[in-house]
Structure 1
Amino acid sequence: MDRYIHRARVGTYWTVVLQTLVPYHTKMALRSIGSSMATAIASRRGVSAALGCGPPNAITDYLNSATPTQRRRDMTILSKESAAEFRKENYSARMAATGRPISPHVTIYSFPVGALSSITNRVTGVMLSFGAAGLGAVELVGGSGAGVDLMSAIGGSGGVMAAGAKFAVAFPFVYHYMGGARHLIWDTKPEMLTNVDVEKATYALVGGSLLLSTAAVFI
């Protein structure tokens, strides 16, 4: 029995030595192996009481107490039969049965103004692209100058229709242009890319775009 007690204590000594000399991740692996071996030896020979560590599982705590430890979550081991049954159940059905949303569950998140501004910048870019393509199609169908004639007719109609058409053309252009200028500033001055500054810049962008687009209606 003394021989096995000696082995366990020698294991503790070398654990301390390795903790000092080898890299962190290697330490963790070697310490785990050494602790498991010492626990197995001591538990087989019934020497846990002689070590003064209580039950066999406490020997691992005794060995690990010599050096800083990293807490690890207990691992669950499934039998082959239970693992096979577990895999048969659909993941979505299992999450629905437990009342848990399927990750990523985007609908529970609230978009910050910076994200909404970025999305709007892309939407206005798509609108401008479709608008340019539409004018090109009108030119192809109606001949040269047909697009200009169409815009002149809408603008000269007056009333809500003309104002709405002007705003629909002005806002995407102004917003996308100012959004690009804002992004250029962020590229040259990354220190301004903070949560607070992004929020302020977004409100300024939206306000400026609405103001300039509204002014364009009266031109």
Structure 2
Amino acid sequence: MYALSSSLVRSPALRQGLQKAAANRQVSLKVVSVGSTIKDESFFEKNERLGRQMSPHLTIYKPQLTSMLSIMHRGTGMAMGVGVWSLGIGALIASQDISHYVTMVEGLQLSAASLTAIKFIIAYPFGYHAANGIRHLLWDTGRFLKIKEVYSTGYVMVATSVVLTAILALL
């Protein structure tokens, strides 16, 4: 390293200083066993020993529209995934065809309001996820990213998801 450094230094005084520093430099190595370097303490024990406080947790934050919409987006995505998997597996293991199960539901003689409510609950994850997905696509274009716009598009998205879901439930 000294040879490279001294060749790059044009000042004779600085070059002489580098030579003296290199001559006085001492390096010593200490051999330690591997067992002494491995700690058996957990992450939390280490933080306690070092006096580090626990990071803020979700329980201390006031819920915000943005965080609630994000949680709902993930929840509706998981609900749709579970629903699709359930329908697929159910179709594979069902002993009857779909008309048999439709007849069973018709036999329950549910009111029109009850059927609409059930269809609304089933359709809501799709309506919400689709509306919020469009909002995210708009964000990907660089639009509506100011905090006021994020909140206003959030409220518009919630209203749109309810309207979309109501349309699907009334079909």
1:151–1:199 Cα change, 3 Å: farther
- Under a length normalisation based on structure 2, what TM-score does the superposition of the two structures give? 0.60
Map 1:106-121 → 2, pairs under 5 A:
106-121=58-73
Higher relative contact order (CA 8 A, sep 6+): 2
1:184–1:152 Cα change, 3 Å: farther
Distance 2:103 2:145 in 1: 42
Contact 1:155-1:165 at 8 Å conserved across structures: no
Q: Which residue of 1 aligns with 2:134?
A: 181
Match of 2:101, as an amino acid? Answer: L
Measured against aligned partners, the alpha-carbon deviations of 1:53-83 in whole angstroms (never above 9, x if no partner) come to xxxxxxxxxxxxxxxxxxxxxxxxxxxxxxx
Distance 1:153 1:217 in 2: 20
Q: Which residue of 1 aligns with 2:9?
A: none
Percent sequence identity over matched residues?
30
- Under a length normalisation based on structure 1, what TM-score does the superposition of the two structures give? 0.48
Tell whether 2:149 aligns with 1:217: no
Contact 1:154-1:165 at 8 Å conserved across structures: no
Distance 1:195 1:107 in 2: 23
Stretches of structure 1 that go unaligned for 5 or more consecutive residues are 1-88, 96-100
Q: Which residue of 2 aligns with 1:150?
A: 101
Q: CA deviation at 1:144?
A: 7.5
Q: CA deviation at 1:145?
A: 4.0
Distance 2:65 2:130 in 1: 18
Measured against aligned partners, the alpha-carbon deviations of 1:172-195 in whole angstroms (never above 9, x if no partner) come to 00111111111111101x242111
Contact 1:154-1:161 at 8 Å conserved across structures: no
Pick the structure with more helix per residue. 1
Distance 2:93 2:168 in 1: 29
- Report the aligned-residue RMSD: 2.9
Map 1:130-209 → 2, pairs under 5 A:
130-142=82-94, 145-146=97-98, 150=101, 153-154=104-105, 157-159=109-111, 161-188=114-141, 190-209=142-161
Higher Cα Rg, which structure: 1
The DSSP-based 3-state class of the residue aligned with 1:192 is coil
Distance 2:102 2:158 in 1: 26
Match of 2:67, as an amino acid? Answer: A
Stretches of structure 2 that go unaligned for 5 or more consecutive residues are 1-44
1:206–1:154 Cα change, 3 Å: farther
Measured against aligned partners, the alpha-carbon deviations of 1:103-142 in whole angstroms (never above 9, x if no partner) come to 2233221132112111111100100011111111111111
Aligned residues: 124
Q: CA deviation at 1:167?
A: 1.0
Distance 1:195 1:126 in 2: 27
